[in-house]
Structure 1
Amino acid sequence: MRQVLQTPQSIPVAIEKSSSTIKYDRFGVLPTRQGLWTPAAGKSICLTAVQGTASLAVSILLSDGSDDFLSLRITTPFSTVNQNFPSPYQLKANNTLMVRTSDEQIDCNTSGAATATQAAYNGRTDFTNVNNAVGLRNGSVASLASALLTQTGGNIVLGYNLLPALADYLDIEQVVIKFYCRLSLTLAVGVSSMLLNWRPNPQAAWIQLDQISLAIIGTLNYLTNPLEFDITTAVLGAANPWDVITTLQTSFIGSHTGLGIGNTIQLDAVEIEICTTGQNQLTLFGYEV
């Protein structure tokens, strides 16, 4: 006889009437085995059914101690795979039922800024076409030119809409900031600099990622191959990493200290690449003998 129960995530499952124990767990990537069910001393687990759900493709492997005996391959995001045993699968006495994952899908998405606002740097706001820095790189640039009689500068602050719709079911694997920019000097007077920054929220202090400067004639071109900075450790170190993703900002500062026409700083885009793996849900049905 079968009955329908609801798991803690309200997923309907059909189980055998004799399955007196239901074990539920939710986990992300598990490269090494983790215990799910430890029987009472001297007893064995008898498994009658297993149900797995994953937000991204993954293989969920169950083992009797260190011996794998079942692999659930989930290929479609947010789909469910069921395994019902014609007769209970009995583990060895005292063995813990273990789980690990493999072949995890990593999903990477890149976003450009949603907003670009110029703030003063050393009292200057000389960038032109600031809105060209919004969105993904496309060849349209915000520019800062040197001037004949004054030093020039500016600070472009970029905001983002990065939170995935189903963030509660995803784990952050990597976060990378990519600056598509260019610094060109045709007149070797003074120093021209680009300062690259980020911060986890608008109230936090800016964190400098790099400073690139030129004082001699030449060009540093990152419009095709960007300057990349991995901020994963900082993001995952927050109490709630998704809060950082929701509120983070980047900043691109340009400065020409030399007096003379012909030096240029350009910004095409500052992109954020976020790579995630899925959260997995597993429900076990069975009993101990």
Structure 2
Amino acid sequence: MNNAKRNNTIFSLENQPLFTREGASYITKHYSFGILSTEVPLWTPSPTKCINLTSVQASAPLGVTLTLSSNGNAFFALRVTSHSAAISQQFPSEYRFKPNDAISLRTSDEERATETSGASNATQVAYNSRSDFINVANATGLPNMQFATLNSALITRTSGRLVLEYSNLVPSASSQLQIESVKINFYCRLSLTLAVGTSSMIYYWRPDPAEDWIQLQQESLSLIGTIDHLSVPIQQDITTEVLAATNPWNVIKNMQTSFVGGHTGLGLGNTIQLDAVVIDIRMVGKNEISLFGSET
């Protein structure tokens, strides 16, 4: 009998032997993960050993399908559909694998959560020693076709910098979510009716009020025409920068955006308008799975 040994310490008579299976240590494999588009090994047995899987438990804050496979063949799938739900599956008998075969996991049909927010506060600071925007408070909130406006002037160049602050960007369930993307949407328009000088819009952000501004892009016109981002915003992707931080959620909590406008030409009729600067955060769940069993 394989994995069996004779126990002579219980019965002293040779004609009454007791044979017991050599006990395998109980093993729990626990993992936390986000999206796994390709198979990732979860449990690799010791050399020449077989995995004996007895049960699986999984939880996810957002809907997701978890598929377990071994040696390239899927053998079990769980669909978690309820918020923060946990599912347990106890096998009627242990699921025994071939020697050296590992158990792998991939995810599919992942649900996403989104957080969209306009600025909660807008202030103007000097740019090139000028603070010429009017109706600054109109730049707060979501797009509503009410504008903070910078007009050109007859005898002076005009400019200004708007600083946008945000509140409640971090969702209450952030500990259960991973950031997938962060994008800044500028709803703005530059209109030149007088081709004198250059008018510009410059887009910035920074991860913390103590940090320097990071320029994202500049758009300018020196000929009569319009740059219009009021219906379809100009979008800036800062995902890489946010995820590079030690704590990305701290960046989301403290980040600011800035919109700079300037008219170098003298004369009336050139206009820069800012409707809103909106942050879009896309998130996936922090999923968890536990595998229970042994190796023999």
TM-score (norm 1): 0.90
C-alpha distance 121-22 of structure 1, shift in aligned 2 (>3 A) = same
1:265 correspondence with 2:272: yes
Which position in structure 2 is the counterpart of 1:217?
224
Cα distance in 2 for partners of 1:35, 1:87 equals 23
119, 127, 135: which one aligns with 1:121: 127
Structure 2 counterpart SS, 1:131:
helix
Structure 1 counterpart SS, 2:242:
helix
> Aligned letter for 1:37?
W
Shift of 1:262: 1.3
> Aligned letter for 2:63?
A
Cα distance in 1 for partners of 2:166, 2:266 equals 35
Structure 1 counterpart SS, 2:137:
helix
1:1-289 map, 5 Å: 20-161=26-167, 162-289=169-296
Which deviations, in whole Å up to 9, do the C-alpha atoms of 1:13-71 show, x marking residues without a partner? Answer: xxxxx982222111111112222222222221111111110011111111123221100
| Identity in percent | 53
Query: Would you say the 8 A contact 2:25–2:295 is kept in 1?
Result: no
RMSD over aligned CA atoms reads 1.5
Structure 1 counterpart SS, 2:163:
strand
> Aligned letter for 1:190?
G
Structure 2 stretches lacking a partner, 5+ long: 1-23
Structure 2 counterpart SS, 1:235:
helix
Cα distance in 2 for partners of 1:222, 1:89 equals 58
Cα distance in 2 for partners of 1:128, 1:79 equals 50
> Aligned letter for 1:172?
I
Cα distance in 2 for partners of 1:91, 1:188 equals 76
Cα distance in 2 for partners of 1:243, 1:54 equals 23
TM-score (norm 2): 0.88
Which position in structure 1 is the counterpart of 2:5?
none
Which deviations, in whole Å up to 9, do the C-alpha atoms of 1:184-218 show, x marking residues without a partner? Answer: 11222221111111111112221111111111222
| Structure 1 segments (4+ residues) deviating >3 Å | none
Which is higher, the Rg of structure 1 or of structure 2?
Answer: 2
Cα distance in 1 for partners of 2:46, 2:159 equals 70
> Aligned letter for 1:68?
A
Structure 2 counterpart SS, 1:281:
strand
Query: Would you say the 8 A contact 1:19–1:285 is kept in 2?
Result: no
Cα distance in 2 for partners of 1:109, 1:241 equals 15
Query: Would you say the 8 A contact 1:155–1:251 is kept in 2?
Result: yes
